[in-house]
Structure 1
């Protein structure tokens, strides 16, 4: 009787271990498999020039995904990141005459204020994150269009445009900024009291409150950081485009960021933040899109594959629970 009871339990334990391994390491295996596929079947894919192009395109997505990972770590979500990018793009031409530093600073201030507003609605007012950030998703882009008079504005300041086109020792500045921010977010998450509080709140918000943790302050801070990172992504994307285009800037960026975070192993239920997994999640989605383009498949196919990947990632997370 004991042996009969033990066997199902052992099988369940083995399945849980496999599921956990898949969630923790699946994104790395997928990236390696995709690189191997391209090495065998895609001409001129594994070149320095192509990799540089892919990294430049992925950099803004990674920056937004880092902020999204922190928010999801608190069992929340921020649907307004694309709108914040659009607001940052709309603000830049207004202050670029006073210098690139002033324009970038004002864009970051707007991003922080937008994020803090989201955090206030979630932490203080008690609105569900998906509802609180949905309001800014709609209203933020509308405000950006009003600020820009609904027009695309060409930018010609060489110092500002250098952010999107320049490099340091052959490494594009945008990629360098994304890498530095990834290291900072990893350090904040793993080595600071704020990071530990963030994870604790995501794991059990009620218990964190009873334990005396500054729940409201941490939540507002997390959303403010997410807004600031979205603004950074908007600045870099605007610089690379050499134009302020609030109508299209950051469109569907929230979906790309959520996909990268979930595929990277950060559970939607909160309580955990996987920064390295998020980085590889962004790389995976960029490689998928680039591979399909190289093989002359339409972008709609890439979107369907992206949807299938996120469904699979959420299913694996569900099985683990």
Structure 2
């Protein structure tokens, strides 16, 4: 083999790895759609579209917050537990267990505001542990991953909270111009995060901190403040997803709300092309990654494959996505 031939081969490998890193998620998404159009009955029905969109909405919302955290070089394992806490607080407020009044004009706003504020404060706590005590993010967020669900269980005494409040549940069960409300919320969250990253100085600071924190600090970027900010956003979005889940189910179960969501969110980020080492944030990629994960699960279930198999496929997708990212970076 000549030097010229070797150089050409390396160039081809580089081009393939880079192309897959950039467009692989979209390709997988399109292939899944094509397979289901051919092999899955009623895949093109509005009911199927509605089911998949509503199932993926909460994953996307949480995964967007996870993307911002990972972009700074962090990780947030507490999102599922924060969903459980927010999901426990809202019904308690609606049913008068916390609020001093049952006036709907007071209780309804509180049922949204209080859980989101609490989730944001707990997200700030994660960021505080990471920045003030220099605790590794995976360890810092493991605190609330473990304790957070316990807090939610203590709040509810481990009991299922069944409730009915149509104005509150509109956030999950309502439609605007025929589009599910939770899907519209998902779109707004994705659009806002994409604008944050691409169109603001704060977005550039987030990427700078994740790319090289020391250099970012030397250039005047308040790295600690930026890190705390992304953990707060991750907490708020996890809380929002928790509200949507309990509103959709008309019940809150602290044992189940948000269970495993941290893994789905990290998987969506990885499959979507965001580097798990930080310095990059592909918000649209995260959206596509979540859609791929949801479609994989739907495809397997619709074709008679046990749900447990989806976990294996999800793990394989993460491995492949990380391998492609590393291959693209090495070339």
Tell me if both proteins adopt one fold, taking TM over 0.5 as the criterion. Answer: yes
Q: Distance between the aligned counterparts of 2:7 and 2:82, measured in 1?
A: 49
Is 2:246 aligned against 1:238? yes
Q: CA deviation at 1:48?
A: 1.3
1:52 aligns with 2:60: no
Separation of aligned partners in 2, 1:206 and 1:14: 35
Q: Distance in 2 between matches of 1:250 and 1:139?
A: 14
Deviation at 1:53, TM superposition (A): 1.0
Q: 1:188-236 CA distances to partner (integer Å, 9 max, x unpaired)?
A: 1110111000000111111111111110000000100000000000000
State how far apart, in whole Å, the 1-side matches of 2:303 and 2:137 are. Answer: 39
Question: Equivalents in 1 of 2:198, 2:70: separation in Å?
Answer: 16
**TM norm structure 1:** 0.97
Residue of 211, 215, 221 corresponding to 2:223 = 215
Q: Supply the distance in 2 between the matched residues of 1:8 and 1:123 (Cα, whole angstroms).
A: 46
Q: Which residue of 2 aligns with 1:104?
A: 112
RMSD: 1.2
Q: Does 1:8 align with 2:6?
A: yes
Corresponding residue number in structure 2 for 1:22? 20
From 70, 79, 97, the equivalent of 2:68 is: 70
Report deviation, 1:157: 1.4
Q: How far 1:4 moved relative to its partner?
A: 4.0
Residue number among 286, 298, 304 corresponding to 1:296 in the alignment: 304
Q: Distance between the aligned counterparts of 1:226 and 1:6, measured in 2?
A: 49
Q: Structure 2, unaligned stretches of length 5 or more?
A: 97-105
Superposition deviation, residue 93 in structure 1: 2.1
Instruction: Provide Cα deviations, 1:13-64, integer angstroms capped at 9, x if missing partner.
Output: 3312211110111010011111111111111011111101110011100000
Q: Which residue of structure 1 lines up, in the alignment, with residue 88 of structure 2? A: 90
Rounded to whole Å, the distance in 2 between the matches of 1:8 and 1:158 is 66
Alignment of 1:147 with 2:155, yes or no, is yes
Q: Hey, what's the Cα distance between the residues in 2 that align with 1:144 and 1:224?
A: 19
Aligned position for 1:320: 328
Distance in 2 of aligned mates of 1:245 and 1:255: 19
